[in-house]
């Protein structure tokens, strides 16, 4: 309730601007505009009081900019000889090019499975997923995964891991090495090129995994709870760095997480899923200004309201019917 | 490296070996065992050094090593390729699995008479026996390693654009390497044992034959020499494989 | 009722046996080698061996030595392996010695032990004992080493003495690994038994094999191979069933036989 009242505030805008620290007038203006715009939209929902009003018809986006379309996908797993488990039920979702979309839900809601279907690692029992209008039939370098388990090749050094993709794409060794070294530097691991993954901490491993995936220039990043295995401090730092990297070239990101904070902090759009069977409950636009800075955002009542409201919606999951 | 070598644990480990030799010496010097049956350790090791420099004994070692390496190499090639193929292809798996189930627990040495009949008394039958014995631990651990490769490693490589058949060489084989090398280690020790036994059962040369010759003439000293030699060979080869292992697995945790 | 899948799984090893015999049959017909009888001829010779009282007694005596050697080895090796697994200094004490003994072919000790103890049952049983001990010690050691420290702490908190912890926590926790070692040991016992009899050439199943070879009774040689092979497969299958029952609680294990010869 408190968050909701705080959330109304025209007093927020100056706060954002001051804290931003951006010197360029143009940028400041842009940010201001952005905040204003989001405020008005936000205000509406607050007045509307029912959080379900945030829900948007999932296919309502302009089709021209859609990069990934998930069309009535269901996934059934055989758990034992006679028992089937409906992991995903009739999921439809469109993801626009350049959007940072989080899939948020409790463990076991099939959110990772959905990501694997987009990755082409798992084929859906029914329905189909498309990238740029083409049906997804298998993995491809246009979609780069980053896994919670890092999945680095233990027999390759940091450089060897990052170079793997470009080399596989036929890039000449010298060129691949130069690109990879630049990427390693970008993720903050300069000096660790010849280290083996076992010699790195969890956070560093995930940086390498991110660099390895970025190295073959995928159009979509598929991140499967990438920071789930990291301690809180490391997770925060990686979230910040991921945002910095993402804000530079705005690749499409599909980000699976069970952390509400993480989803709200990073995303343009949060897809809330419910459990057994896995369905999309709601799709929520996160209208918070970019570039986002953690120290400002955590104090921002609108951020807080998003977090509190989403958490409350999960708590009320018995009452609210799933949205199809 | 050196500090580890001289750690107290090493002294603790040398203790029982020294103890065994001391008891051995004691048994002989205090007259509990006649020197004809149990020659004193000094005498045995002296004889070993004396033999090692003779050309005739070196030839015995060479004969044993040739059979050992040939058999072991065949076992590695067959074991690794069948193991990977069985892990990668369900149809091959369906054929290989029951055959392995039947053949793995079969005492291969019982096949030796049949091999003698089919391949003669020369190198062929012994090499085949060594290969048959060393094959299964290598095959099984390769299969185990290849079928437990982390799925996400394969997915990562596929997403980077690796074609399916290349996955086998670029991901499955290196990822299964720790397991494969464990199998090779077991296979190598088995090769040492089997080649020696085959030579003891029927042969005209090799370390096993040297032992049998000595036994026929009740030369206890000369019976110990080939035994100690094969044990040393086993330790040296094991050490070499261990060095290869730590080089190949330098990236793996707890290599 | 068994599902078709389970039925195929059961039948697969039998099919594999039949397939192997068929390959043998075809190969021997194709080779037309006098010393390579067909599978059918070899199978036909089996009743003659098992019907012959002396051969049967020989085989049974072999099995008895094997059982005793295996039993004693297991009784000695498991406690030693467990102690090594839980005490760093005990492990450091025994490991190098075991490493030196490891590549020594145990059956090759036959001539030397024969020199001291004669050619009787004691020598052959001792050799089998030596052959079985190492894998059982090794696997017990690995099993005990892998027991989680916190389980032992809980045991200590409940007032178990170190000896009680070894018997009531370490032993059951390491049991799956120990039984893997025993399974390897069982196959090794059979191998050592046959090999030692082949080397000593005095009595037992291995001796029958080589006697027949010397006398040119090739049917008998191959029939004996089938008998020994069947023993190995049967003992392994029997042990595997017992093992699966004893460690039902543990994670479903890898179902290819990991035992080696």
DSSP C106-133: GGGGHHHHHHHH-SSHHHHHHHHHHHHH
Residues B7, B61 share a domain:
no
State whether B8 and B115 are in the same domain: no
- Interface check for A164 against chain B (CB to CB < 8 A): the answer is yes
Kindly state whether residue B254 falls inside one of the protein's structural domains: no
A52 and chain B: CB distance < 8 Å anywhere? no
> In angstroms, rounded to a whole number, what is the distance separating the alpha carbons of residues A148 and A226?
4
Could you give the angle at the alpha carbon of A50 between the alpha carbons of A46 and A51, nearest 5°? 80
Residue B123 lies in a domain: yes
In a shared domain, residues B34 and B112: no
The residues, any chain, with a CB within 8 Å of residue A62's CB and separated by 6 or more, are A96
Kindly state whether residue C154 falls inside one of the protein's structural domains: yes
Contacts of C230 by beta carbon, 8 Å cutoff, 6+ apart: none
pLDDT in tens, C20-66: 888 888 888 888 777 788 888 888 888 888 888 888 888 898 999 99
Note whether residue C251 is domain-resident. Answer: no
Domains in chain A with CATH codes = 57-142+218-315 (3.40.50.300)
* Predicted ipTM of the assembly: 0.83
Residue C96 in any domain: the answer is yes
Q: What is the pLDDT of residues C78-136, one digit of tens each?
A: 999 999 998 888 888 888 888 888 778 888 888 888 888 887 888 889 999 998 998 89
Minimal Cα–Cα distance from B154 to chain C, Å? 21
CATH number of B202's domain = 1.10.3720.10
Out of B150, B160, B252, whose CB is closest to A164?
B160
Residue B220 maps to a domain: yes
pLDDT per position as a tens digit, A196-251: 999 999 999 999 999 999 999 999 999 999 998 899 999 999 999 999 999 888 89
Residue of C nearest to B10 (CA): C92
Count of domains in chain B? Answer: 2
**Interchain CB contact of A121 with B (< 8 Å):** yes
Q: Domain span at residue B143?
A: 45-248
Q: How far is A148 from chain B (nearest CA, A)?
A: 10
Which structural domain, as residue segments, surrounds residue C215? 38-246
Q: Chain B residue with minimal CA distance to A146?
A: B156
Q: Kindly state whether residues B9 and B125 are assigned to the same domain.
A: no
**Residue C116 domain-assigned?**
yes
State how many domains chain C has. 1
DSSP assigned state of A197: G
Report H helices in chain C.
4-31, 39-51, 53-86, 88-101, 110-117, 121-145, 149-157, 162-165, 171-200, 205-214, 218-246
C59 within some domain? yes
Q: Are residues B189 and B86 in the same domain?
A: yes
* A46-53: average pLDDT: 36
Minimal Cβ distance to B99: which of C20, C103, C104: C20
Burial (CB < 10 A; 0-12, 13-18, 19+), residue B36, is exposed
CB atoms within 10 A of CB B246: 12
> Mean pLDDT over residues A75-104, rounded?
86
For tokens 């982390």, what's the residue? B150
- Do B97 and C232 count as a contact with CB atoms less than 8 A apart? no
Residues B77 and B26 in one domain: no
| C260–B140 C-beta distance less than 8 A | yes
Contact list in B for residue A156 (CB cut-off 8 A) is 251
Q: Say whether residue B72 is in contact with chain C using an 8 A CB cutoff.
A: no
Which residues from C are below 8 Å from B13, CB to CB? 92-93, 95-97
Partner-chain contact C104 B227, CB within 8 Å: yes
The pLDDT value recorded for residue B102 is 87
Please indicate, yes or no, whether residues B25 and B53 belong to a single structural domain of this protein.
no
Rounded average pLDDT over B109-125: 88
Domain with residue C146: its CATH number is 1.10.3720.10
Judging contacts by C-beta atoms under 8 Å, the chain C residues touching residue B145 are none
pLDDT tens digit string along C129-164?
998 998 899 989 989 988 888 888 888 888 888 888
Query: Range with the lowest mean pLDDT among A253-257, B29-33, B238-242, C82-86?
Result: B29-33
Q: Quick one: B24 and B89 in the same domain? A: no
In a domain, B131, yes or no: yes
Q: Is A141 on the interface with B (CB under 8 A)?
A: yes
Q: Does C25 fall in a domain?
A: no
Residue B11: the pLDDT is 72
């Amino acid at each position: 309730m408190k968050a909701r009242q705080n959330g109304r505030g025209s007093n927020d805008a100056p706060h954002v601007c001051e804290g931003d620290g951006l010197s360029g007038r143009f940028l400041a203006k842009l940010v201001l505009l952005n905040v204003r715009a989001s405020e008005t939209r936000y205000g509406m929902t607050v007045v509307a009081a029912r959080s379900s009003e945030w829900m948007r018809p999932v296919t309502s986006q302009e089709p021209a900019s859609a990069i990934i379309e998930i069309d009535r996908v269901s996934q059934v797993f055989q758990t034992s000889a006679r028992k089937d488990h409906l992991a995903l039920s009739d999921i439809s979702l469109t993801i626009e090019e350049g959007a940072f979309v989080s899939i948020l839900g409790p463990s076991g809601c099939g959110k990772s499975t959905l990501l694997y279907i987009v990755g082409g690692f798992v084929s859906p029992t029914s329905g189909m997923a498309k990238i740029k209008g083409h049906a997804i039939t298998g993995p491809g370098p246009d979609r780069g995964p980053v896994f919670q388990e890092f999945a680095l090749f233990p027999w390759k050094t940091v450089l060897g891991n990052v170079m793997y993709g470009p080399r596989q794409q036929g890039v000449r060794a010298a060129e691949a090495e130069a690109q990879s070294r630049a990427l390693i530097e970008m993720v903050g691991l300069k000096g660790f090129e010849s280290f083996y993954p076992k010699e790195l901490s969890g956070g560093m491993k995930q940086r390498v995994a991110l660099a390895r995936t970025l190295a073959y220039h995928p159009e979509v990043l598929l991140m499967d709870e990438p920071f789930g295995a990291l301690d809180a401090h490391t997770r925060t730092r990686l979230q910040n760095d991921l945002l910095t990297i993402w804000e530079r070239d705005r690749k499409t990101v599909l980000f699976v997480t069970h952390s509400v904070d993480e989803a709200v902090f990073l995303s343009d759009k949060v897809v809330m899923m419910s459990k057994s069977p896995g369905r999309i409950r709601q799709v929520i636009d996160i209208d918070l200004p970019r570039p986002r800075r953690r120290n400002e955002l955590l104090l921002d009542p609108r951020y807080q309201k998003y977090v509190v409201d989403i958490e409350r919606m999960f708590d009320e999951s018995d009452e609210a019917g799933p949205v199809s | 490296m050196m500090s580890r070598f001289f750690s107290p644990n090493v002294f603790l480990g040398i203790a029982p070996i020294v103890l065994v030799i001391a008891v051995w010496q004691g048994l002989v010097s205090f007259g509990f065992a006649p020197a004809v049956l149990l020659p004193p350790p000094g005498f045995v090791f002296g004889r070993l050094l004396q033999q090692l420099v003779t050309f005739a004994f070196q030839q015995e070692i060479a004969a044993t090593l040739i059979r050992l390496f040939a058999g072991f190499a065949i076992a590695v090639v067959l074991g690794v390729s069948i193991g990977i193929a069985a892990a990668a292809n369900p149809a091959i798996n369906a054929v290989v699995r029951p055959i392995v189930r039947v053949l793995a627990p079969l005492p291969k040495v019982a096949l030796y008479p049949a091999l003698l009949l089919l391949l003669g008394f020369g190198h062929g039958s012994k090499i085949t026996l060594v290969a048959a014995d060393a094959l299964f631990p290598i095959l099984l651990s390769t299969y185990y390693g290849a079928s437990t490769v982390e799925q996400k490693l394969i997915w990562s490589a596929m997403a980077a654009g690796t074609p399916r058949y290349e996955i086998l060489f670029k991901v499955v084989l290196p990822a299964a390497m720790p397991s494969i090398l464990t199998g090779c280690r077991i296979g190598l020790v088995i090769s040492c044992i089997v080649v020696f036994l085959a030579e003891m059962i029927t042969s005209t040369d090799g370390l096993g034959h040297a032992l049998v010759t000595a036994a026929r003439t009740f030369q206890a000293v000369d019976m110990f020499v080939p035994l100690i030699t094969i044990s040393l060979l086993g330790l040296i080869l094991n050490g070499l494989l261990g060095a290869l292992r730590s080089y190949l697995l330098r990236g793996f945790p707890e290599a | 009722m068994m599902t078709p899948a389970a039925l195929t799984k059961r039948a697969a090893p039998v099919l594999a046996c039949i397939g192997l015999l068929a390959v043998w049959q075809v190969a021997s017909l194709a080779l037309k080698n006098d010393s390579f009888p067909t599978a059918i001829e070899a199978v036909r010779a089996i009743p003659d061996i098992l019907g012959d009282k002396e051969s049967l007694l020989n085989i049974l005596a072999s099995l008895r030595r094997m059982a005793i050697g295996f039993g004693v080895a297991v009784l000695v090796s498991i406690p030693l392996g467990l102690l090594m697994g839980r005490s760093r200094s005990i492990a450091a004490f025994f490991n190098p010695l075991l490493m030196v003994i490891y590549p020594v072919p145990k059956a090759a000790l036959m001539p030397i032990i024969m020199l001291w103890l004669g050619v009787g049952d004691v020598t052959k049983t001792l050799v089998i004992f030596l052959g079985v001990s190492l894998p059982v010690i090794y696997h017990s050691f690995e099993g005990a080493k892998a027991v989680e420290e916190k389980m032992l702490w809980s045991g200590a908190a409940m007032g178990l003495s170190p000896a009680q912890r070894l018997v009531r926590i370490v032993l059951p926790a390491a049991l799956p690994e120990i039984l893997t070692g025993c399974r390897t040991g069982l196959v090794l016992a059979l191998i050592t038994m046959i090999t030692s009899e082949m080397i000593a050439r005095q009595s037992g199943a291995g001796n029958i094999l080589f006697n027949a070879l010397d006398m040119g009774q090739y049917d008998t040689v191959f029939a004996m191979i089938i008998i020994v092979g069947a023993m190995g497969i049967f003992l392994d299958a029997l042990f595997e069933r017992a093992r699966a029952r004893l460690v039902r609680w543990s994670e479903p294990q890898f179902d290819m036989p990991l035992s080696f010869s």
